[in-house]
Structure 1
Amino acid sequence: MAKTRIAIIGAGPGGLLCARVLQRRGIEVAVYDTDADPYARDAGGTLDLKADSGQIALEDAGLLAEFRALARPEGQAKTRLDQHGTVLAGFVPEEQDEAATEIDRGQLRGMLAASLAPGTVRWGHKLHTATSLGAGRRRLEFGNGAVVETDLLVGADGAWSRVRPLLSPATPVYRGVSFVEVRFDEVDRRHPRIAKLVGDGHMFANDNAGRAIIGQRNSNGHVRGYVALRTDLDWAAKAGIDLADRAAVQGFLCDEFADWSADLLPFITDNEGEFVNRPIHALPAPLTWTHRPGVTLLGDAAHLMTPWGGFGVNLAMLDGAELARALAEESTVDSAIQRYEKVMLARGGEHALGANDAMDRFFATKEFDPADIPDTLAEHQHALAAAAEYRRRHPVAVTWVLRFRTPSGERKFALVLDTSTTEPTGTLDGVPIENGTLRDGALRFTARLTAPFPMRFTCIASLDGDTMTGSAKAPMMSIVFTGDRVTQGSTR
């Protein structure tokens, strides 16, 4: 598996996270993205990384400490209002609550990109064609003329994926709601009314007539807002509005929200930037496909859903971590893809159905029902419990670099080891180990190598913190080896 040529299309959080976990497992990978660099465009607003998905993926990537240095736990606060400005519900997280900690999308992307080995991401590469070469291999041609061949093609390229057509004819469908994005800088000084409404986290206001105003606190005194309404996809054209005409868009939105509280209208009247139209699309859910060798999808490319619940990036990152884990632990690319897709497709379909239904209910034209307001505290408690259960079933594996002193020189192999029990499991050079035992710092397991020739041997080693020393014994020889634990922040 370590020799497999893996190409990930898309340097969003899911693709970058997948590459990071692969490198920690000693597997080479290349990521291709259209952007010129991680900061070439506005990555979007804030997002919550959930304990039972996004944070688990970061733990596998060894990046939890880096994440917590940037994240804003106080950003989990939420306030729900009606169109008159009446507070219907509120949530303030406790000091130690990290169930759904907020981080700016741009900060997350930059952190993940910086964690990869230099040259991993090929910026400025837009996929043009992917031609099958048989046996799961493909030739990829990019718009800049670059051509590469791959044994595994991973589509992490979002809603309008160019990889998805290799597996499914499905395309995103407009869900009947459009968000018009607005922005406010130095909000506490220049826009105190908006700052007070949004607080440290999020404000949601709706009128049960298909209209809403949403505000979210970002870092560095910035608030990003969304003036949203249930409408036709071409609402601007039907109203005779040029979206580049700020005054025209502002006038249209003021008319649409004329019966709303004056306290909420600054989200329309005080916008500092352009009005950016963001129609909400989603893939049919649940989306499935017939397995094909050498290609798979993750994140929005596989299960694009509405933003309700904040599952999109979280699932993309968990997808990436689980795909990387499967590739490190299975004996073939094909078995790894099938193991990964069996879990990912079911999970993505379930969350997509839930997210799409939640948005439909939020923008429904009906009488207000208090039961429609989510119980944020219960959601946080559920996420923490689900995270503990996930880790019980999928303990964190530690990667070691083993150095064998052979007659032909030193050889290095990646040992991925779960030592949460006295019978450790894992892989050596991507091949599962067998008969593992760990008692009083003494590790023993049986392993198999396929190169430079097939060999089965028993490793006996002593563990001392981040180092390991031992010997590998085969019927005709014994080789001494040493090992070093791959520490957080390292790519080896």
Structure 2
Amino acid sequence: MTTNLRIAIVGGGPGGLMLARLLQMRGVAATVFERDSHADERPQGGSLDLHAETGQRAMALAGLEAAFRAAARPEDQGDRLYDASGRLLFDRDGSGDNRPEIDRTVLRQILLDSLDPGIVRWGSKVDAIEPAAAGGYAVAVDGLPEHFDVVVGADGAWSRVRPLLTDAVPIYEGATLVEFGFDTARHPAVDALVGGGKMFAVGDNRMLIAQRNGHGHIRGYAGLRLDEAEARRWMEMAPQAVRARLRDAFVGWAPALTDLIDSGDFIGVRPLHALPVGLSWPTRPGVTLLGDAAHLMSPFSGEGVNLALADAADLAEALVSPAEWEAVAACEATMIARAVPAAEGAAAGLEVTLSSDGVNAVLDHYRERVAA
């Protein structure tokens, strides 16, 4: 392939922006279509830990390792585990680990700052993507089509690009998280509960999670099993109605833990979905996927953004390869295989954590990590 390709990247999350950055370094000015009207239009999620062989490697390839290190928080790699009574079962500060945390918003801004002006088209929700008669694809925004040689789906769970390659859709995993936010200055008890990283409190098919973010913020999550119809109803409820349902679900838990439900700023209801593990598709010249669009999984493996960044690094190299779509086909096979153990781990982690014996399974997992 040549550097005069017109490449459309649908989705301006970390994976799509990393691909744009790496292509820019190779002399290819891709276009990123992002539905948000600006970078701060909506919350971008909580803290992420970047792993050496995937996320950190991609940042180094993109020439952004120094910016990442300056913003990362290696001090926030700890883990705590409580049972429903509030008893602390496990406490590890994480010192010596090489998975430093960084806020998703900060990571995204580092990538945005590395791109030339005009590469990201804000407020551009893609309406349709159709094969063009002369080859390539027509990408339509507000009904106005524009021709591209290559379209990359970096647009997450409900990708508009994925249907060009497969009819697979995300499947509800039977569990839902309710997300809350905390300012540590206003919530010193939550601050103390979390410690230097993240905490889990696990009981009978229920869990509470809180994770330290940058700038004095903490993200909290209440997780439980709901059928899909009920999860959808919760998404339509007022915040106080959701809190009332959660109070009923967590009756008997220690007040220090249920304070996460009562005192946090309500952010949203998040039903958990995943694509089939090992999802593959026939290579189709002119269109491909990366990140959650290719291998969506629950957050219980901690691999989602790392896989997206690694996918972008491999795909950038393939898209400028003289081997053309043979290289992309090999890249797709690599990203699919790489995601399988992470997806299996995420599914297993969710299954054992939200179970009648979840706290013991999580404790065993933490002890195994220390032993390794």
TM-score range, shorter chain: over 0.9
Name the % identity.
43
Equivalent-residue separation in structure 1 for 2:367 and 2:61 (angstroms)? 26
Aligned to 2:65: 64
Mean CA deviation greater in 5-14 or 273-282? 273-282
Please list the CA deviations of residues 174-209 of structure 1 after superposition, one character each: whole Å capped at 9, or x if unmatched: 101100111111x1x3211111111121001111x2
Shift of 1:136: 5.2
Equivalent-residue separation in structure 2 for 1:335 and 1:90 (angstroms)? 48
Shift of 1:133: 2.2
Greater Rg by CA: 1
Shift of 1:249: 2.2
1:38 aligned onto 2:39: yes
Aligned to 1:219: 214
One-letter code aligned to 2:218: V
The structure with higher relative contact order (CA 8 Å, sep 6+) is: 2
Aligned to 2:354: 363
Q: Is the 8 A contact 2:315 2:331 kept in 1?
A: yes
Q: Is the 8 A contact 2:198 2:212 kept in 1?
A: yes
Cα pair distance change 1:288/1:376, threshold 3 Å = farther
1:266 aligned onto 2:259: yes
Q: Which of the numbers 262, 268, 292 marks the counterpart of 1:276? A: 268
Q: Which of the numbers 206, 210, 217 marks the counterpart of 2:205? A: 210
1:110 aligned onto 2:101: no
One-letter code aligned to 2:77: Q
One-letter code aligned to 2:166: S
**3-state SS, counterpart of residue 272 of structure 2:** strand
One-letter code aligned to 2:335: M
Cα pair distance change 1:153/1:109, threshold 3 Å = same
**3-state SS, counterpart of residue 294 of structure 2:** helix
Mean CA deviation greater in 161-170 or 74-83? 74-83
Cα pair distance change 1:377/1:350, threshold 3 Å = closer
Equivalent-residue separation in structure 2 for 1:62 and 1:289 (angstroms)? 32
One-letter code aligned to 2:293: A
Please list the CA deviations of residues 193-237 of structure 1 after superposition, one character each: whole Å capped at 9, or x if unmatched: 111111121001111x21000001111111110011011223367
Q: Is the 8 A contact 2:137 2:149 kept in 1?
A: yes
Pairs aligned (count): 371
Aligned to 1:229: 224
Equivalent-residue separation in structure 2 for 1:367 and 1:279 (angstroms)? 19
**3-state SS, counterpart of residue 175 of structure 2:** strand
Shift of 1:376: 7.6
Equivalent-residue separation in structure 2 for 1:242 and 1:18 (angstroms)? 35
Q: Is the 8 A contact 1:152 1:333 kept in 2?
A: no
**3-state SS, counterpart of residue 75 of structure 2:** helix
Give the structure with the higher percent strand.
1
Aligned to 1:127: 126
Shift of 1:374: 2.4
Q: Is the 8 A contact 1:129 1:140 kept in 2?
A: yes
Give the structure with the higher percent helix.
2
Cα pair distance change 1:63/1:155, threshold 3 Å = same
RMSD: 2.1
Gapped regions of structure 1 (runs ≥ 5): 382-492
Cα pair distance change 1:238/1:116, threshold 3 Å = closer
Aligned to 2:327: 336
Aligned to 1:473: none
Please list the CA deviations of residues 457-480 of structure 1 after superposition, one character each: whole Å capped at 9, or x if unmatched: xxxxxxxxxxxxxxxxxxxxxxxx
Give the alignment of 1:316-335 within 5 angstroms.
316-328=308-320, 330-335=321-326
Q: Which of the numbers 304, 316, 334 marks the counterpart of 1:312? A: 304
